[in-house]
Structure 1
Amino acid sequence: MENELKPLWSKIFNFNWKFGLFLILLICIPRFVLVLHGNAIANMQYVGIIMLIMATVPFVFLSKYGRKKIGIKKPTNNRWLIIALIIGIVFSILLYFLGETFYGNSYENWYNYIGKSYNIPKEIDEQSKLILFGISALIGMTFSPIGEELFFRGIVHSSFANSLGNRKASLIDSSSFAIVHISHFGFVFHNQQWKFLFVPTLIWVLSMFILSILFYVCRKRSGSILGAVICHSAFNLGMTYCIFYPFGEY
């Protein structure tokens, strides 16, 4: 029987829920801290490094068989790649309107707070704004979707699924994804001090959980991790657009 792990790691680990938990603690704790630090200094450059590490984890630990098992293969249903794109964009826009409805232009609005890290100058011409948007969108559509999906919907999900089945594994990887995103919004750095926004955080975490479930559905339906990556990438594109070009401007 083929082993998901490379020979070196299979002597130390079993590809099960314990291995998945080990990876979550190993990667998500430093990621949480780095994002909080990035919010405090309005610079997320170090977060990009952790995303690259997340993307390499499957290639460090898994055999060719293991990488295929977590979805690193050609899609079996290309139609779902298009559906994944639509789901990601629609969900990002719905989350924008939810934030605007409840919290308007305040820092309790998740997109407003996250937008601080983009460092958009208050006085900026349209061409410069478009260039900054293009750069931000490109980064948002590559680093985190590839890194997080290979990690959460890939190696973490499959390790838990080996022990608990896909349904429970999806709840666990989605919960982990949602909780780690409290570092993006929840613990906020406002007026040079940290605050925890209880109700907005609950809405944000629940939204991230639902979004994660959708990422998994796109992976499952498309037959490849690419479905999850495209959905995640589309969500980040929509979020970035809503931050740079709020619909209220028109």
Structure 2
Amino acid sequence: MEYSVRPIWHKLVTLDWKFGLFLLLFICIPRFLLVLLANASGNYSSIGAIMVISALCPFLFLTSSGRRRIGLTRPKRYGWLLVAFLAGLIFSLLLYYVGWSLYANTYQNWYVYIGKSYNIPQAINPSNKSILFAVVALTGMLFSPIGEELFFRGIVHASFANSVGDRKATQIDGSAFALTHLSHFGFVFIHNQWHFYVVPALIWVVSMFIVSMLFIKFKTYSSSILGAILCHSGFNLGMTYCIFYLL
């Protein structure tokens, strides 16, 4: 499907598994390391840059026809967009209850550890907390859903699907998405030391794989990658709410 690739890349790029693997290595390895460094330093400014680069990949490499093929098109079933958002929100709440039931308010709870990065002041008053929540929630609902879905469920999925079919491509991009999120929780930096919580990390990775299956399903149901983006946005909103108000 070379005609989906911009002419400038024709001699270098074919939309196949090799290109998909290149994208995963080029984006995910630096992102993994940058998130780990950010967890240790408390400076997360570089993560936004990775999300922007991820989002730009389809526009950099694909023609308008190619972008439509990966789902960058108007939804055919608008009703599924609301369902997608609610499904992501509900899944995030379920994941909160699993974490709280098993690990309560400890750093083995994925939301507790991720919440460290939000830097919520302990003495913050309700009004300022609401403002901070709105800012964090809005950021989380835009940057990572757009960047990650255009990347994982978009150009990466299409690259692998052209070689191994949609089903296997879904498993590959879902696995890559889940393993990449080990940098967010799994390898944890606490009291100036690194730890790896095997069972909580396994639950987290499996959960990220399952939610990535939700994302691709709603991309299919809505006939647009917007379905995946909104499901992802709903998940991030729910996670942010849990961190701010339920922990």
Tell me what 2:88 maps to: 88
The reply to whether residue 99 of structure 1 matches residue 111 of structure 2 is: no
Q: What stretches of structure 1 of length at least 5 have no aligned partner?
A: none
Aligned equivalents of 1:14 and 1:85: distance in 2? 33
- Indicate the RMSD between aligned Cα atoms, in angstroms: 1.0
Secondary structure of the structure 1 residue equivalent to 2:74: coil
Tell me what 2:48 maps to: 48
Q: How many residues align?
A: 247
Amino acid at match of 1:80: W
Tell me what 2:207 maps to: 207
Secondary structure of the structure 1 residue equivalent to 2:195: strand
Q: Against the structure 1 CA distance between its residues 189 and 158, is the aligned structure 2 distance closer, same or farther, given a 3 Å change threshold?
A: same
Once the two structures are superposed, the pairs formed by residues 1-250 of structure 1 within 5 Å of their partners are 3-246=3-246
- The question of whether the paired residues in 1 share the 8 Å contact of 2:2 and 2:15 is answered with no
Q: What stretches of structure 2 of length at least 5 have no aligned partner?
A: none
1:2 positional shift: 6.7
List per-residue Cα deviations over 1:2-50 (Å, max 9, x = no partner).
Answer: 7111011121121101000000000001100111111112232110110
- The question of whether the paired residues in 2 share the 8 Å contact of 1:133 and 1:244 is answered with yes
Aligned equivalents of 2:29 and 2:218: distance in 1? 27
Aligned equivalents of 1:53 and 1:78: distance in 2? 28
List per-residue Cα deviations over 1:29-72 (Å, max 9, x = no partner).
Answer: 11001111111122321101100010001000001111000000
Normalised by the length of structure 2, the TM-score is: 0.98
Over the matched positions of the two proteins, sequence identity in percent amounts to 59
Secondary structure of the structure 2 residue equivalent to 1:3: helix
Runs (4 or more) in structure 1 with deviation over 4 Å come to none
Aligned equivalents of 1:25 and 1:82: distance in 2? 33
Aligned equivalents of 1:125 and 1:189: distance in 2? 28
- The question of whether the paired residues in 1 share the 8 Å contact of 2:175 and 2:209 is answered with yes
